[in-house]
């Protein structure tokens, strides 16, 4: 099989944490070919044929994990699997790339499916399942957000809809004198949407990242925030703690799993705090390497197995 990974610049990927690196290594272990490119190397040729300027990428274990080889240009149909693993933010360029990927012939598998990348928006998708998530409001109206905060007793969390890695997340407390300023900055004076949610105090114990493959949970890691920090993301210093899947976690996955499969989401990372679903991450979710180290597993094998099954089903 021949894989193309659309990623951020390869030298900047962290071999000890990046999930894309785990996928590339597993493909190499199976004797499969790996190439990489960035979104800037994508284009659409005359006749509506998407193509890429790519670099052969030989990967291995260890810190010195990659070697870049020959470069080339091919239509994306020349690859068996195209992985869209560009990190957020989900901006207009990302949106347009999903439309480019829609033009890839059906004989090539795109992971995750472009339609799924558009429809399963990481902050908003959970609102299709209101019984699973904290009480939430999406608005760019500062008065409306303030009224919602008052309804919640003065405490809530706000996030930008296009944020990632904990960027722009604020925990607003009842005695916070900066609330008005924070909402002005977050909404850009009422011109940009925010999602506001009831604060879930169990976040102090950790924000659970659950890895979901073909709609089924396969592993989890607890991201515990530093004592001075609200956010638990690894990107801002959250620590990885071994954990398991609770009955409630499995209930959440069973509820959202069919929709993820319907939208062609092979691999996702969902976030659960206490009993509540808070995000569904489908663009470039992380967590596999941390779970592997804590649990002594290799979750990337199951993901590659799922990809190979989907590819065989194409009948190429």
Give the C-alpha separation, 215 to 15, whole Å.
Answer: 26
pTM of the model: 0.93
Q: Is a pLDDT exceeding 60 seen at residue 56?
A: yes
Q: Copy the structure tokens of residue 287.
A: 């967590």
Q: What is the CATH number of the domain that holds 192?
A: 3.30.1490.20
Question: Is residue 303 one of the residues assigned to a domain?
Answer: no
* Pair (243, 262) in one structural domain: yes
Please tell me whether the peptide bond between 112 and the residue prior to it is cis, using omega within 30 degrees of 0: yes
- Residue 285, domain extent: 202-298
As annotated, the active-site residues are: 123, 159, 209, 224, 231, 271, 279, 281
Neighbours of 177 (CB within 10 A): 6
Higher pLDDT, residue 303 or 175: 303
pLDDT for the residue 236: 60
pLDDT for the residue 297: 97
Give the C-alpha separation, 310 to 235, whole Å.
Answer: 32
Q: Which pLDDT tens digit goes with each residue over 95-141?
A: 999 999 999 999 999 999 999 999 998 899 999 999 999 999 999 99
* Pair (42, 140) in one structural domain: no
* Pair (292, 223) in one structural domain: yes
Q: Which pLDDT tens digit goes with each residue over 275-292?
A: 999 999 999 999 999 999
* Pair (166, 216) in one structural domain: no
Q: Is a pLDDT exceeding 70 seen at residue 190?
A: yes
Question: Is residue 316 one of the residues assigned to a domain?
Answer: no
* Pair (78, 177) in one structural domain: no
Question: Is residue 311 one of the residues assigned to a domain?
Answer: no
Burial of 225 per CB tally in 10 Å (0-12, 13-18, 19+): buried
Question: Is residue 270 one of the residues assigned to a domain?
Answer: yes
Question: Is residue 27 one of the residues assigned to a domain?
Answer: yes
Q: Please provide the average confidence, as pLDDT, over all residues in the chain.
A: 94
* Pair (84, 142) in one structural domain: no
Alpha carbon distances (Å) from 273 to 70, 100, 277, 309: 45, 35, 7, 32
pLDDT cut 70: percent of the chain above it: 96
Q: What is the CATH number of the domain that holds 105?
A: 3.40.50.20
* Pair (215, 268) in one structural domain: yes
pLDDT for the residue 146: 96
Q: Is a pLDDT exceeding 60 seen at residue 232?
A: no
Q: Is a pLDDT exceeding 70 seen at residue 162?
A: yes
* Pair (293, 216) in one structural domain: yes
Neighbours of 312 (CB within 10 A): 10
Find the mean pLDDT for residues 197-217. 95
Question: Is residue 152 one of the residues assigned to a domain?
Answer: yes
Domains contained in the chain, number = 3
Find the mean pLDDT for residues 150-158. 96
* Pair (189, 215) in one structural domain: no
Burial annotation 165-175 (CB, 10 A radius, 16+ → b, else e): ebebbbebeee
């Amino acid at each position: 099989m021949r894989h193309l990974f659309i990623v951020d610049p390869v030298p900047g990927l962290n071999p000890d944490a990046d999930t894309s690196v785990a996928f590339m290594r597993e493909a190499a272990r199976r004797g499969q070919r790996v190439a990489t490119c960035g979104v800037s190397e994508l284009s659409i040729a005359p006749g509506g044929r998407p193509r890429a300027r790519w670099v052969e990428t030989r990967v291995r274990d260890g810190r010195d994990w990659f070697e870049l080889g020959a470069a080339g240009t091919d239509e994306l149909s020349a690859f068996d699997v195209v992985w869209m693993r560009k990190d957020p933010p989900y901006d207009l360029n990302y949106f347009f790339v999903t439309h480019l990927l829609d033009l890839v012939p059906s004989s090539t598998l795109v992971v995750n499916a472009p339609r799924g990348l558009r429809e399963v928006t990481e902050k908003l998708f959970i609102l299709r399942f209101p019984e699973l998530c904290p009480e939430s409001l999406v608005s760019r109206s500062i008065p409306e957000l303030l009224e919602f905060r008052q309804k919640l007793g003065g405490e809530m969390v706000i996030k930008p809809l296009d944020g990632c890695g904990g960027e722009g997340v604020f925990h607003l407390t009842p005695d916070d004198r900066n609330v008005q300023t924070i909402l002005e900055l977050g909404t850009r004076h009422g011109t940009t949407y925010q999602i506001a949610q009831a604060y879930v105090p169990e976040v102090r114990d950790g924000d659970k990242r659950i890895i979901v493959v073909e709609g089924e949970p396969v592993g989890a890691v607890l991201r515990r925030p530093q004592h001075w920090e609200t956010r638990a993301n690894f990107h801002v210093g959250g620590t990885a703690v071994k954990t398991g899947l609770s009955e409630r976690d499995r209930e959440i996955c069973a509820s959202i799993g069919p929709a993820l499969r319907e939208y062609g989401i092979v691999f996702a990372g969902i976030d659960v705090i206490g009993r509540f679903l808070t995000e569904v991450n489908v663009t470039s979710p992380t967590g596999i390497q941390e779970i592997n180290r804590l649990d002594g597993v290799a979750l990337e094998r199951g993901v590659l197995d799922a990809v190979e099954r989907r590819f065989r089903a194409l009948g190429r």
